[in-house]
A and B are shown apart, each in its own frame.
Chain A
Amino acid sequence: MGRYVTNTREEQQEMLRAIGYESFDDLYRDVPEQMQIHGELKIPCGVSELEVQRRMEAMAAKNKVFPHIFRGAGAYHHYIPAIVDSVTGKEDFVTAYTPYQAEISQGNLQSIFEYQTMICELTGMDASNASVYDGATAAAEGVLMCLDRKRTGILVSAAVNPQVLKTIRTYCYGRNVAVQVIPEKEGATDTQALREMLDEQTACVYIQQPNYYGILEDVEEIGRLAHERKAKYVVGCNPISLAVLKTPREYQADVAVGEGQPLGMPMGFGGPYLGFMAAKQDMLRRLPGRIVGQTVDSQGKRGFVLTLQAREQHIRREKAGSNICSNEALCAMKASVYMAAMGPEGMRRAAINSASMAHYLAEKLQEAGCVVKYSRPFFHEFVTECPVDTGMLLTRLEEEGILGGLPLSGRELLWCATELNTKEEIDHLAGIVKEVCGR
């Protein structure tokens, strides 16, 4: 049996006696007899550390780790600098909880304050929270922030990540508000349709930049349309792209959210990831979750505390704007260390190399017989139509250790490239595609 109980059996008996109990069973006398488990749980007996390691390694070995990845669609394969895991693996950070006791949590609090600053720099926004669960829940919370008594209409572009759309729908089902989907046109949000859908009840418009198909939306126009009808403008953005692309602030977004996974988190079969959220000053008190602020101690020394807690569930209970308590703090720290290690130039390089590799990939796939479906500018993802069955093509690529684009409908594939892909890899991939398409 594996155990982390420190006290020996003898010490346990000694403690029991010291407080007047004869046995452990006496401690459970409040649990009615008919409810107690008679016999044992139907799970195996415990094992040693070595045995459990073998068991878990055996499970891990049943997965295929692709050496060449050309798939994104919400989870991105970026390089993670060595310093990220080194620093965020420090036990003090790993084993602490929410910094309720500021005096012995200054390290944790300061790191969140630094994270908030970096998210504001990326997005151009005034205030950031300390994180939510992932990009999809950040989008849902961002949308809910905009609801008020008069405005309950939510418009979401059809060109956002479908998992994000589903999550927004689920959160809105909770709040008993409907989601209307703005149709897409040529791979992007249909602005004409949006114009017609906006009305006096519209609380907000949610779009994604770059969108699900990698395409760069007409973000200024969409923001203008939303604000014309006094609706809020919520944008989900890829944080790596923000190193080079216009900030949400520059196109008048009210709330910027996104999936922070590309900032130093492994793909990890989908989590844990990082939901980032930032807003303009006038929306500050509607932000959900923890927020850290700078203040001074009794001696006037700089220090940091959890602040604006009157928004939160532990104070406001049923009147709180959100129920969030635990967040993704350690992932937020990974993002901070990632951004510190990359610096402005490294971030820019990650963005440009990713986008450039994707454009090179698109060109090579075209040469190999695929057609890039949309003509609009894209960032590091794009859709192709293949002349052959995508299942057959993907199987062939898999034999070569390549995870190809994500199959959409029909013969469409959604491809992604990052700075981790090389020219040699892409040339090899294109060769195989050409061979399959040419059969």
Chain B
Amino acid sequence: MKLIFERSVKGRGCSVLPECEVPVWDFGEYGRKKELRLPEVSENDISRHYTELAKRTHGVNDGFYPLGSCTMKYNPKINERTAANDGFTGVHPLQPEHTVQGCLEVLKTAEQVFCEITGMDRMTFQPAAGAHGEFTGLLLIKAYHDSRNDGKRTKIIVPDSAHGTNPASAVMAGYTVVNIPSDPDGCVDLQKLREAVGEDTAGLMLTNPNTVGLFDKNILEITRIVHDAGGLVYYDGANLNAIMGVTRPGDMGFDVIHLNLHKTFSTPHGGGGPGSGPVGCKDFLARFLPSVQVEGDGPYTFVRQPDSIGMVKAFYGNFLVVVKALTYALMLGKDGLWEASRNAVLNANYLMEKLADKYKMPYRRTCMHEFVMSLEQEHEQIDVSAMDIAKALLDYGIHPPTMYFPLIVAEALMVEPTETESKENLDEIIRAFEEIYEQARTNPEAVKTAPHVTPVGRLDEVQAARKPHLKYSYDE
């Protein structure tokens, strides 16, 4: 299809703004020399263009989206409506405090609700996404050690099954990363952890349930080992959707956590963002929190923490995303959140058990909200890879699971169905997987060249990287 620039016709446009009604300011020598080339299109052109683009975009509303570790649950529409309220969207972030009491109430209520769900004492909503939360949480750990003049703690321990953001965030926070291998169950190898901790340990980063979808039973022992060595323990909240109302990171011994409101609390992913990655902590870390905290219970006030790490972005975070997440949390309440987690786990186990007849499950025991399958056998025996299976799913209108993650499983597909899928949807994907399984054996070429009915076929990623073509060339 055409690019918007290719639809441009000189002289077309939309009539958005009136002419200036006061004397026109002359920017003189400050003016740009190069002409600003933007599309010249009518409103109808724009509308049709984006409608066509939307048809070429698969969202949760289009179909099943079991992208492991991303929690692509249904995004309730009431969230969008409450966040679009002019009483929120029309508020300038630097208005006097007495004129933004509703916004402060949102932040305060959200803090109370999300702290209770996670077992934390305080929470900041400034981080804009999960990775941003990790960075913020690690800076709290850094500020804590600094405040005790404990300068020798320069290392963050990360399991080899961790999300890539964990080690990358640790480096951004100035730490050296120590990777520790997982045990054969995909959980933390306690012996390796004991060997890794020491006087240089600043902390450990962990998800629980972990990235292979298992609840690490040794969690209390893990957090104790790190604490005994003088380190703190960071909880990556990517997998919280399995355990709401069942257990809490705060009760497992974690000191600081982040949540992904765009995963667990149903705010839409927006094609990559905006998300929201609030950071919760135990009381002893609260004095280092960034930005400001809301105090009081009407009237509310903003209070800066005494030893704050500063700001990790402007203002108070992705506020309208927090409005959506709070809408969801209040609507579900303690009973609904519990039900959501239990069904996320049920759906994952149902799908895993049904697929296990044909596909290899490297960790075949009760999983949490997601599980990992391995296409290693298929890859070796019939030269069909995890990627091939994933691409074949596209022809069924199904978004494939996360591919090649976690790194500790060969030819991995990581599947997270979420609680909002129905039994018949799950049965349908099971049938699709089974058909692909058969086809991979009877007609492997068809699988290896999939997808066949999408707007484009497999794309040449090597060429894209070798000869980067990153913008429209006007001169073409």
Contacts and interface: CB of A to CB of B under 8 A. Distances in A.
A175 to B, nearest CB: 6
B270 A347 contact: no
B412 to A, nearest CB: 13
Contacts of A116: 470-471
Contact of B31 (A69, A245, A309, A341): A245
Contact of A95 (B109, B269, B353, B391): B269
A87 B339 contact: no
Given A116-B470, A297-B458, A94 B268 contact: yes
Contacts of B1: 110
B88 A27 contact: no
Contact of B32 (A20, A246, A339): A246
Contacts of A171: 172, 312
Interface string B43-72: 100110111111111111110010100101
B47 A86 contact: yes
Given A41-B245, A170-B311, A269-B93, A118 B51 contact: no
Contact of B420 (A4, A175, A294, A296): A4
Contacts of B246: 28, 31, 36-37
B246, B329, B354: most-surrounded residue (chain A CB, <10 A): B246
A103 interface: yes
Given A63-B88, A75-B93, A298 B457 contact: yes
Given A92-B62, A106-B56, A296-B460, A323 B38 contact: no
B87 interface: yes
Contacts of A170: 139, 290, 309-312
Contact of A47 (B53, B333, B338): B333
A272 B327 CA distance: 17
B116 A267 contact: no
B361 interface: no
A344 B22 contact: no
B347 to A, nearest CB: 8
A90 B60 CA distance: 12
A149 interface: no
Interface in B438-474: 449, 451, 454-461, 463-465, 468-472
Interface string B263-287: 0001011111111010000000000
Nearest to B299: A62
B422 A96 contact: no
A163, A358, A426: most-surrounded residue (chain B CB, <10 A): A163
A7 B272 contact: no
Nearest to A124: B34
Given A103-B394, A174-B135, A342-B38, A110 B274 contact: no
B202 interface: no
Interface string A378-419: 000000000000000010001000010010000000000001
Nearest to A272: B274
B103 A63 contact: yes
Contact of A337 (B50, B128, B321): B50
B181 interface: no
Contact of B139 (A64, A174, A269): A174
A81 B16 contact: yes
A96, A105, A164, A245: most-surrounded residue (chain B CB, <10 A): A96
A317 interface: yes
A392 B142 CA distance: 43
B436 interface: no
A245 B30 contact: yes
B390 A320 contact: no
A110 B20 contact: no
A45 B40 CA distance: 52
B377 interface: no
B41 interface: yes
Interface string A126-142: 01101101111100000
B106, B165, B172: most-surrounded residue (chain A CB, <10 A): B172
Interface string A337-359: 10111111111111011011111
A162 B79 CA distance: 32
Contact of B36 (A55, A307, A344): A344
Interface stretch (B94-102, B190-198, B227-235): B94-102
Interface in A1-60: 1-7, 11-12, 14-16, 18-21, 24, 26-32, 34-37, 40-49, 51-53, 55-57, 59-60
Interface string B234-251: 000000000111111001
A242 interface: yes
Given A293-B469, A305-B461, A356-B20, A318 B89 contact: no
B245, B350, B421: most-surrounded residue (chain A CB, <10 A): B350
Interface string B19-45: 111111101001111111111110100
A110 B459 CA distance: 13
B219 to A, nearest CB: 7
A235 to B, nearest CB: 14
A143 interface: no
B431 to A, nearest CB: 15
Contact of A326 (B245, B262, B266): B262
Contacts of A30: 214-215, 217, 365-366
A2 to B, nearest CB: 4
A306 to B, nearest CB: 8
Given A41-B337, A167-B313, A130 B139 contact: no
A232 interface: no
A323 B135 contact: yes
B78 A53 contact: yes
A56, A113, A312: most-surrounded residue (chain B CB, <10 A): A56
Contacts of A51: 331
A136 B51 CA distance: 32
B39 A340 contact: yes
B318 A295 contact: no
A174 B132 CA distance: 12
A200 B331 CA distance: 58
Contact of B315 (A36, A75, A249, A377): A75
B14 A343 contact: yes
Contact of B316 (A12, A124, A270): A270
A375 interface: no
Given A56-B323, A71-B92, A330-B273, A137 B128 contact: yes
Contact of A106 (B57, B319, B350): B57
A318 B459 contact: no
Contacts of A26: 366
B74 interface: yes
Contacts of A291: 468, 470
A1 B332 contact: yes
A87 B46 contact: yes
A30 B51 CA distance: 47
B172 A175 contact: yes
B112, B128, B262: most-surrounded residue (chain A CB, <10 A): B128
Given A21-B349, A62-B102, A326-B129, A105 B57 contact: yes
Given A136-B311, A270-B315, A341 B43 contact: yes
Given A318-B177, A341-B43, A423 B22 contact: yes
A201 interface: no
Interface string B286-327: 000010000000000000000001111111111111010011
B336 interface: yes
A352 B19 CA distance: 10
A81 B14 contact: yes
Contact of B172 (A62, A167, A322): A322
Closest 10 CB pairs of A and B: A270-B315, A60-B87, A46-B333, A330-B270, A329-B272, A62-B102, A95-B59, A270-B93, A272-B274, A107-B53
Given A266-B320, A325-B164, 6 more contacts: A3-B339, A4-B266, A52-B78, A104-B58, A270-B315, A340-B46
18 contacts: A4-B266, A12-B343, A19-B349, A24-B346, A34-B220, A63-B102, A74-B314, A75-B92, A83-B43, A98-B272, A121-B36, A174-B135, A174-B138, A326-B274, A326-B275, A330-B274, A356-B20, A406-B94
